[in-house]
């Protein structure tokens, strides 16, 4: 585990300092901050070291830096590798906080050795800090709905790292700012959300239910949160991270054995559940149920349907519905909206926007 000094030192590396008379001056202030932290370290918890850091960073002065202090330091850790070559990184509960929307998990594709994994972990932390400083270039925006049910907006950003490399990352609407996260937390607490799906994992006599929910923010934006722990059935189930990743890999292509269906009340609504059994590579048998509210139109795609949609997009087998312009985060974007019809009749409408304007 990293010491308080190491954590603050990593934070300071990401801070853009105001101009000083010399680099030596900046190093002197950095040393002064770390020295002060060391003197106050005994008996301090996680929240304490952050408050101390914020106070001591006042030594650096300048209003521009004051805005930097609100950056939340998220540390990423490798949780495991999925069988299809994806690595899963996430923030630890201690860093993510108790608020569900603060939890961050990212899948990374590739074949990484120990050095590559550590570099990717550091890259994710650097990108997270750049994101909080709005230091990314927005280069693509995508909206999608399934049978008229909106899935929310996805933003694609490019970030230039300190060593000059460029990395891309996608974010769902609602993960754009801390104020969005806090608003979603408030809506959740008041029950102002629409539950689109419920998922229950059972193993070792324990059950855990997660929910996929849709929120409407105060400015009209729609946000879909893919996995929120349901406090009515929080678990956790005694599965290792590797077993959870393997289960996820089996669920996506539907490699489970159907064992029954049932109607269950979830937060005052009737859900129709389908239950499946999954046998992991180590022989562990896990059951997983997936349910949707009665009367709700189909609102998501299966892995097979997603693959089919990708093939239709690649082959340009869609009907162009409209082209239009929209200001996104203060910049003009040109959008093209296309309808795709899957083999089972599911209609998917996708709007893709790129920077530019014909005005």
Second CATH level (architecture) for the domain 303-355: Roll (3.10)
* pLDDT one-digit tens code per residue, 178-223: 778 888 889 999 999 999 999 999 999 999 999 989 898 888 888 8
**Does 264 have pLDDT greater than 90?**
yes
**Does 62 have pLDDT greater than 80?**
no
DSSP string, 271-318: EEEEEEEEE-TTS-EEEEEEEEETTPPP-S--HHHHHHHHHHHHTT-S
Cis bond leading into 213, ω under 30°?
no
Q: Is the distance from CB of 239 to CB of 286 less than 8 angstroms? A: yes
**Does 30 have pLDDT greater than 60?**
no
pTM (whole model) above 0.85: no
User: Domain segments of the chain: what residues?
Assistant: 4-68, 76-180, 186-293, 303-355
Q: Is the distance from CB of 254 to CB of 248 less than 8 angstroms? A: no
**Does 65 have pLDDT greater than 80?**
no
Of the two residues 211 and 151, the one the predictor is more confident about is: 211
* Terminal Cα-to-Cα distance of the chain (whole angstroms): 54
Q: What share of the chain has pLDDT > 90, as a percent?
A: 37
Name the one residue in this structure whose structure tokens are 């949780």: 79
CA distance 203 to 276: 12
CA distance 307 to 315: 12
Mean pLDDT of 15-25: 36
What is the overall mean pLDDT for the chain? 76
Which class for 110: exposed (0-12), middle (13-18), buried (19 or more C-beta within 10 A)? exposed
**Does 52 have pLDDT greater than 60?**
no
* pLDDT one-digit tens code per residue, 69-103: 456 778 888 877 766 667 888 876 544 443 444 56
């Amino acid at each position: 585990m990293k010491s308080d000094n190491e954590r603050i030192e990593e934070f300071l590396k990401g801070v853009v300092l105001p101009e000083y008379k010399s680099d030596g001056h900046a190093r002197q202030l950095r040393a002064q901050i770390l020295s002060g932290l060391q003197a106050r370290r005994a008996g301090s918890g996680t929240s304490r070291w952050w408050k101390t850091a914020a106070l001591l960073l006042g030594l650096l002065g300048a209003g521009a830096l004051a805005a930097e202090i609100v950056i939340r330091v998220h540390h990423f850790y490798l949780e495991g590798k999925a069988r299809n070559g994806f690595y899963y990184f996430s923030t630890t509960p201690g860093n993510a906080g108790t608020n569900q929307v603060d939890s961050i998990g990212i899948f990374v594709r590739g074949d990484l050795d120990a050095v590559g994994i550590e570099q990717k972990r550091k890259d994710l932390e650097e990108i997270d800090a750049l994101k909080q400083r709005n230091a990314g270039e927005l280069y693509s925006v995508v909206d999608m709905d399934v049978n008229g049910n909106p899935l929310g907006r996805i933003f694609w950003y490019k970030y230039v790292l300190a060593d000059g490399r460029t990395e891309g990352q996608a974010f769902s609407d609602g993960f754009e700012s801390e104020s969005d996260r806090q608003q979603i937390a408030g809506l959740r607490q008041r029950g102002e959300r629409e539950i689109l799906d419920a998922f229950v994992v059972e193993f070792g006599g324990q059950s855990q239910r997660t929910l996929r929910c849709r929120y409407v923010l105060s400015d009209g934006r729609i946000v879909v949160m893919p996995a929120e722990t349901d406090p009515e059935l929080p678990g956790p189930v005694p599965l290792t991270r590797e077993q959870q990743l393997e289960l996820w890999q089996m669920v996506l292509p539907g490699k489970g054995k159907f064992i029954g269906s049932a109607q269950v009340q979830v937060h005052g609504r009737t859900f129709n559940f389908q239950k499946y059994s999954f046998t992991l590579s180590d022989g562990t048998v896990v059951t997983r149920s997936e349910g949707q509210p009665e009367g709700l139109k189909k609102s998501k795609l299966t892995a097979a349907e997603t693959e089919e949609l990708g093939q239709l997009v690649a082959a340009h087998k869609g009907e162009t519905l409209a082209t239009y312009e929209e200001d996104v985060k203060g910049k003009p974007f040109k959008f093209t909206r296309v309808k795709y019809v899957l083999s089972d009749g599911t209609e998917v409408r996708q709007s893709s926007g790129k920077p530019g304007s014909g005005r």
